[in-house]
Chains A and B, each alone.
Chain A
Amino acid sequence: MPRLADQIREALALFPQLAREPALIGGLALAAHNVVRATRDVDFLVDADDAERLHTLLIGLGYTCIHRSADAANYLRGAEGFDVLYAHRAEARRLLAEAETRQTGMGRLRVVGAEGLIAFKLQALVNDPSRARDLDDIRTLLRNNADTLDMERVRHYFAIFERGALLDEILGKQDDASA
């Protein structure tokens, strides 16, 4: 079992101590939606009401908090990162509530749906447009989940970030490629 899997399993063991079980987002969550690529990003969406409790638990595991705000926190333990986005707005709370449960080799894991994962990838891209990997992930999520995605919802997320034209461009290129 990879070392990263052990890190995730260790985190999952903490979650019963929180009021609401966190859900996986970021690069690793891609795997639950048919996009398998190497990643070391451990990112979880966590109910904002659990922020303090989770902080204490992670410090207890030897992590150092390198950043913490109302929206996000970043923890580090050697070369292991652990990133948290806090759900305190309506959209994120809804995505957390609707996260799917998967049985995995690492244990029971909640994962944000593909539409929400696209939304978080878009948020990352808006914050750092140089992260071409996030744009690639969005493209691949759209392509590999084309039959099941709720596109009305995907459009809604692109509208939140005023990137409707980007979605049209991505979908247009995918149509051209499949024609």
Chain B
Amino acid sequence: MMRRPDTSTAPVLVAEGGVPYTAIPDGDPIEAWLDLMEAVEALCPEWPAPESKIWCDYRL
């Protein structure tokens, strides 16, 4: 006999895409950013042109 999957505990990562959370880095967050960007630049050595940021409403 075929068993039905147990649906009493929802598989969070599949059914809901995971739980929203933000990891706060241990230690110096700027060093953490440098580490991250090292990996990002290794994966994406050619960066697209920067987005245009020409605005009209400045209040600060």
Tell me if chain B binds chain A: yes
Interface flags for A1-35 (1: CB within 8 Å of B; 0: not) read 11111000000000000000000000010011111
| Residue from A71, A91, A124 having most chain B Cβ neighbours under 10 A | A71
Task: Determine the chain A residues whose CB is within 8 A of the CB of B25 once the complex forms.
Answer: 34, 36
- Contact present for B54 and A67 (CB under 8 Å): yes
Main SS at interface, chain A: mixed
* Minimum distance in angstroms from A87 CB to a CB of chain B: 8
Task: Determine the chain A residues whose CB is within 8 A of the CB of B29 once the complex forms.
Answer: 31-36
- Identify the closest chain A residue to B50 (Cβ): A81
Query: Which listed residue, B20, B41, B58, B59, touches A4 by the CB 8 Å rule?
Result: B41
Main SS at interface, chain B: loop
- Contact present for B32 and A79 (CB under 8 Å): no
Task: Determine the chain A residues whose CB is within 8 A of the CB of B53 once the complex forms.
Answer: 72, 74, 83, 124, 128
CA distance A89 to B41 in the complex (A): 37
A138 at the interface (CB under 8 A from B): no
CA distance A126 to B57 in the complex (A): 8
Query: Which listed residue, A3, A37, A123, touches B58 by the CB 8 Å rule?
Result: A123
B24 at the interface (CB under 8 A from A): yes
Task: A33-B29, A38-B37, A161-B59 given; name 15 further pairs at CB < 8 Å.
Answer: A2-B40, A3-B41, A5-B34, A35-B22, A36-B36, A40-B50, A74-B52, A74-B54, A76-B50, A85-B58, A109-B30, A123-B58, A140-B22, A143-B22, A144-B22
**Chain B: residues with CB nearer than 8 A to chain A?**
20, 22, 24-25, 28-34, 36-38, 40-41, 46-50, 52-60
The 5 nearest A-B residue pairs measured at CB: A81-B50, A127-B55, A31-B33, A2-B37, A71-B58
